[in-house]
Amino acid sequence: MVALLKTSISNLKMRTPVLLASGVLGSSYGTINRVIEETLVGAIVTKSFTKEPRNGYPTPIVAYVKSGLLNAVGLANPGYKMLKELLRNVSRNVPIIVSIASSTPQEFAEIAEYAEEAGANAVELNLSCPHVKGHGLEVGQDPEYVGKIVENVKSVSNIPVFVKLGYSDKVVEVAKRAEKAGADAIVAINTIRAMAIDVYAKKPILSNTYGGLSGPAIHPIAVRIVYDLYKVIEIPIVGVGGVMDWKDAVELMLAGASAIAVASAIAVKGLNVINEIVEGIQKYLENEGFGKISDIVGLAHKN
Amino acid sequence: MRRGRIVKVINEAESIKSFILKVNIDKVIPGQFVMVWVPGFEEIPLSPSLHENSYLRLTVAAVGATTEKIHEMNVGDSLYIRGPYGRGFNLNLRGKYLLVAGGYGAAPIIYALKELREKGKSATYAIGAKTSSKLLFVSEARSIGAKVLITTEDGSEGVKGLITDVIKDIIEEYDNVLACGPEKMLYKIMNMCLRANVKCQLSIERYIKCGLGICGSCALDPKGLLVCKDGPVFYAEELIGTDFGKYYSLPSGAKIIVR
C-alpha cells in the first residue's frame, strides 16, 4: 500500500485508515481473514463479545428502511472464552481490535484482560448498543459510570482501549470523561435507536421492536458528533456512521476522525466497497495535494 | 419486504404443504432463497419450489413454531417476503443431470428440474425419504419427463435404504449432480462426486439471520464463505476443507459437530 495512506491510532499501525466496524462479519476467523485478504482494510473490530454466549434475538433482526438499515442482532456471540480460538486463527497482518459488551466495570475489565491475553491488539468498549438492555446506551450516557469502566479496564490493560459512544446529548461530556480516565481513542458513533412498522402486517418488523439505525440516514449526525468531539478531546477519533463511499470517509476525517469504519455499506455493495473507499481517499489526497492522511484530519476546523 | 397473499394451499406429503403466493418480487433462480416473515413469529429462509410470473410456491415442512404457524394458514392469509438472495444452481452446464433430494430438500430441486426440462436437458430425479408418506414431487417429476428414482428408509416405496446408496453406482453416468437435503447426505454426495470427477452443486443450510451478508451467522470457516451470499448453492470444490459436513454454527456462533 502506498505510504500516504498509512495511519496510526495510539500504538496501532494501520495500512489504511479504513476499518471494519464492529458487528459486521467479525465473529468468525474465516470471515475476518477474508476481509483482511480481499480488501485493504486497516484494522478489524470484532463483533462484541460478552461474558456468556448469546444467541441474539429471534429473526427478523434486520429491516431495510428508505435511508438506511435497521438491525437488532442482540449481541449474538459465542462468549469471550472463544476469543483464544478466534485470535489464534486470524491473520495478524492488520491490528485486531476486540469489541467488548458488558454492563459492569468489573466484567469489562475481566473480558479485556482475557482479550489481551488471547492476543488482541486493542479493545473497544461498546458503550452504545441501542438495543440490548443494560449493555449500551444507558451505560454510555452516564459520564461517571463510563469513567469508572474505562479506569477499571485501563488498570488491567497494556493495549490501547477504545471507547465506542453513540448518539446522545451527553456524548461530548462522556468522551471527555473517558479521555480523563485514560481512553486511547473514541469511536463515534454507534447506530441510533429506531424502529420500523410494516403497514400491511401492522406490526413492528424487528422481533425486538427497537433496533439501531445505520447507513446514510445517520451520516450527517456522525459528522456533527466527530466535529464536536475534535474540538474538545486530544485523543484520536475513529469516525463511524453511514460511510457509503470515499466522500463520506473524507468528510469524517475533515471533521476530525483519524480513521473511519465501514459497516452498512457492505450490505449494499459487498466487501469490495472497502477497497473503493481506500482508493477514493488516496486519489483525493493526491488530487488535493496532501502528502499524508494526518494532513486532512480536522482540517475543517482551521481557517 | 413485500406482502404475499396465499392463493392456494396444497398438501404435498405428511407434515409438508405448499403455499402458492401472489407476490411481486424479482425472478427467483432455482436454488436461491427468500426470507419469509410471519408477523409475531420468526423470519425464515426458504428456497422456493417454483416461481412463475408473480406466483411463488413455498414448500414448507412443519418443523418449528414458525413453520407450524404457516401450516395453519389458509387462502387469503399473508406472508411477508424479501429477496431473492444468494446464488442459485447453474443450470447451463453441459451434459446429463442427476438431481438428488433428501426429504424437504426437494423444494429447490424440483424447481431446478423443471427449468432443466424446459431447457430440454436430460435429468433424473432421485428422492429419498424416511417413508412413502414423506416423498415429495414424485408425480410432478414424472409429469415433466424426468426419470425418477425412489428410496425410503423403511422400504415402504422404492428401494429400501438411503438415496446415497442407490446413486453411488450410477453417478458416473452423469455430468452434473445437484443436491439438497440433510448435511450428512450432501457430504457423502460431495465426496462421491469429487472421486468420480462429476461436477457437483450442493444447496446447503446454516442459520441465516440477515440474508444480506453482514451478520456472519451463516459463515463457513476457514474460508469465510457466507451461505446467504456466496451460497446457498456451492460447487463441491468450494466446500473442500471447510466446516461443511463437520461443524455447524449455532445462533451464538458456537460450533457443534454435524451429526
| Structural domain boundaries in chain B | 2-85, 89-203, 207-259
Element (H, E) at A110: helix A105-118
The strand pairing partners of B129, in sequence order, are B152
User: Helix A171-180 vs helix A219-232: angle between axes, to the nearest 10 degrees?
Assistant: 40
Phi, psi of A215 (to 5 degrees): 95, -170
User: Cell 459512544 maps to which residue?
Assistant: A165
DSSP state of A15: S
For residue B202, give the C-alpha cell.
Answer: 450442493
Query: What is the Cα–Cα distance from B46 to B107, expressed in whole angstroms?
Result: 9
Least confident interval from A13-27, A105-119, A127-141, A185-199: A127-141
CATH number 2.60.120.260 is the correct assignment for the domain at B89-203:
no
Across the interface, whether the CB atoms of B219 and A205 are under 8 A apart is answered no
Q: Calculate the dihedral angle through the C-alpha atoms of A38, A248, A73, B29, rounding to the nearest 10 degrees.
A: -60
Best of B80, B212, B214, B250 to disrupt the A interface (most A CBs within 10 Å) is B214
Average pLDDT over residues B50-73: 97
Is the preceding omega at residue B84 within 30 degrees of 0, hence cis?
yes
pLDDT of residue A1: 53
Q: Which of residues 256-275 of A touch B (CB under 8 A)?
A: 263-264, 266-267, 270
At A190 the three-state DSSP class reads coil
- Tell me the ipTM for this assembly: 0.92
pLDDT at A9 over 70: yes
R_g of chain A, CA atoms, integer Å = 18
CA distances from A217 to A158, A244, A270, B213, B235 (A): 37, 11, 19, 20, 39
Decide if B150 contacts B138 (C-beta within 8 A): yes
Q: Which of residues 13-32 of A touch B (CB under 8 A)?
A: 23-32
How many CB atoms sit inside 10 A of residue B79's CB?
24
Would residue A129 show up in a list of annotated catalytic residues for this protein? yes
Best of B5, B43, B227, B239 to disrupt the A interface (most A CBs within 10 Å) is B43
For residue A284, give the C-alpha cell.
Answer: 483525493
Across the interface, whether the CB atoms of A76 and B254 are under 8 A apart is answered no
Across the interface, whether the CB atoms of A77 and B253 are under 8 A apart is answered yes
User: Cell 433496533 maps to which residue?
Assistant: A211
- What residues make up the domain containing A99? 3-301
Across the interface, whether the CB atoms of B251 and A76 are under 8 A apart is answered yes
Residue B252: list chain A partners with CB under 8 A: 53-56, 76-79
R_g of chain B, CA atoms, integer Å = 17
Query: What is the Cα–Cα distance from A257 to A242, expressed in whole angstroms?
Result: 14
Of all residues in chain B, the percent with pLDDT exceeding 70 is 100
Query: What is the Cα–Cα distance from B59 to A111, expressed in whole angstroms?
Result: 45
Q: Closest-CA residue in chain A for B40?
A: A207
pLDDT at B25 over 60: yes
Number of domains in chain A: 1
pLDDT at B259 over 70: yes
- CA B83 to chain CA centroid, Å, is 16
pLDDT at B129 over 80: yes
pLDDT of residue B48: 98
Query: What is the Cα–Cα distance from B20 to B10, expressed in whole angstroms?
Result: 8
Q: State which amino acid sits at residue B169.
A: D
Q: What's the number of CA atoms in the CB half-sphere (13 Å) around residue A43?
A: 29
B3, B42, B223 member nearest A58 (Cβ): B42
Residue B219: list chain A partners with CB under 8 A: 25, 27-28, 30-31
- CA A62 to chain CA centroid, Å, is 18
Decide if B32 contacts B49 (C-beta within 8 A): no
Average pLDDT over residues B108-120: 97
Give, in degrees to the nearest 5, the angle at Cα B208 between A202 and A48.
95
Decide if A279 contacts A247 (C-beta within 8 A): no
- CA A226 to chain CA centroid, Å, is 13
pLDDT in tens, A217-268: 999 999 999 999 999 999 999 999 999 999 999 999 999 999 999 999 999 9
pLDDT of residue A2: 67
User: Helix A143-156 vs helix A105-118: angle between axes, to the nearest 10 degrees?
Assistant: 30
pLDDT at B14 over 60: yes
CB contact set of B180 (below 8 Å; sequence gap of 6+): B31, B47, B100, B101, B102, B105, B106, B107, B108, B109, B186, B202, B203
Query: What is the Cα–Cα distance from A175 to A78, expressed in whole angstroms?
Result: 29
Average pLDDT over residues B98-114: 97
Residue A267: list chain B partners with CB under 8 A: 210, 212-214
Query: What is the Cα–Cα distance from A165 to A157, expressed in whole angstroms?
Result: 20
pLDDT of residue A128: 85
Residue B250: list chain A partners with CB under 8 A: 55
Decide if A205 contacts A59 (C-beta within 8 A): no
Query: What is the Cα–Cα distance from A40 to A18, expressed in whole angstroms?
Result: 8
pLDDT at A31 over 80: yes
Query: What is the Cα–Cα distance from A98 to A122, expressed in whole angstroms?
Result: 6
At A20 the three-state DSSP class reads strand
User: Rounded mean pLDDT of chain A?
Assistant: 95
Average pLDDT over residues A62-79: 94
Classify domain B2-85 at the CATH topology level.
Elongation Factor Tu (Ef-tu); domain 3 (2.40.30)
Query: What is the Cα–Cα distance from B89 to B119, expressed in whole angstroms?
Result: 14
Residue A54: list chain B partners with CB under 8 A: 252
DSSP letter string over A55-100?
A: --PPSP-EEEETTEEEE-----B--GGGHHHHHHHS--SS-EEEEE
Average pLDDT over residues A183-192: 97
Element (H, E) at B170: none
DSSP state of B225: E
Nearest CA among A166, A155, A26, A144 for reference residue A90: A26
pLDDT in tens, A117-167: 999 999 999 998 777 776 777 778 889 999 999 999 999 999 999 999 999
Q: State which amino acid sits at residue A205.
A: I
Instruction: Give me the sign of the Cα torsion angle A274, A57, B32, A199.
Output: negative
Residue A272's CATH number: 3.20.20.70
CB contact set of B11 (below 8 Å; sequence gap of 6+): B17
Average pLDDT over residues A285-295: 95
pLDDT at A11 over 80: yes
Q: Closest-CA residue in chain A for B36?
A: A60
pLDDT at B51 over 60: yes
